[in-house]
Structure 1
């Protein structure tokens, strides 16, 4: 009896798409709403104009969405990112996407822990400018994948090593198509 080798694709399963798109949308929405409230909205308080009481809630939502998004990105590393780096399609936009996500995670981490007010203000500006850049880069990466004709989106056969010692798991060796 002959077995077909397993087929792997860089396409995301539906649960992963849902988690990525939902968490990213919530992340961006909460960040933009916070920015609007921070720079354009003041409420009348006991001692004059003050910040909106919604800002801490929006930051909490932004942080929670960030955790969900980073978990989803981490779940993409073994197949989507690994095969994407081995292949030739959308590699540059994928590297740019990974780089900007790492940059945003590090600057967000810095915002949480930086105590110096002047440094924190600078980091905040860098973070929200990076956020707008992130939307452009991630959207571009997704658009490049959707732009490809459906016929060219196919799974890649993987050859498994044979004659392994008992107890070792077979390691897939991707055989990717040539760049187009």
Structure 2
């Protein structure tokens, strides 16, 4: 992967994860008491639209990552493969459940897809961050503790 591809992936992941987490927080904890009952948070619509707009950029950059990073490394060493493959296997459920949320109208299906999307996206984010931490892109807890005490 080129540096442009790598940073595009990281920025798209950051934007998509940020808007997704904020969407979930506003949806679960942002309800307000209105005149006729509970109302959604006023920012929920904006955050949801931003998430739907930035998610395709993440899907595109993930495709670039599969071509330039995943396929060439499948036959090599096992280092970093557990978290990388874990994240890779979660891409399809995350993307398809997110797409399904946009096109399904049945409340039962929307509820199931929302849970599937939230769980697969949360697990993908954990695997992605774990993969970055193992590759040295994120500061480790040990180096943070050593830096604070030294």
TM range (shorter): 0.7 to 0.9
Q: Give the unaligned 5+ runs of structure 2.
A: 138-150
Q: How many residues align?
A: 136
Deviation at 1:78, TM superposition (A): 2.6
Q: In structure 1, which of residues 58, 64, 83 is the aligned counterpart of residue 72 of structure 2?
A: 83
| SS of aligned partner of 1:115 | coil
Judge conservation of contact 2:31–2:40 (CA < 8 Å) in 1.
yes
Deviation at 1:46, TM superposition (A): 4.3
Report the structure, 1 or 2, having the larger helix content: 2
Which residue pairs with 1:60 in the alignment?
Answer: 49
Q: TM-score, normalised by structure 2?
A: 0.81
Residue 104 in structure 1 maps to residue 97 in structure 2:
no
Judge conservation of contact 2:31–2:41 (CA < 8 Å) in 1.
yes
Residue 26 in structure 1 maps to residue 15 in structure 2:
yes
- Tell me the C-alpha RMSD between the 2 structures: 1.8
Judge conservation of contact 1:107–1:123 (CA < 8 Å) in 2.
yes
Q: Distance in 2 between matches of 1:14 and 1:136?
A: 22
Report the structure, 1 or 2, having the larger strand content: 1
Q: Which of the pair has more CA radius of gyration?
A: 1
Q: Give the unaligned 5+ runs of structure 1.
A: 1-11, 148-180
Which residue pairs with 2:128 in the alignment?
Answer: 138
Q: In structure 2, which of residues 70, 84, 103 is the aligned counterpart of residue 94 of structure 1?
A: 84
Which residue pairs with 1:35 in the alignment?
Answer: 24
Deviation at 1:53, TM superposition (A): 2.6
Judge conservation of contact 1:84–1:94 (CA < 8 Å) in 2.
no
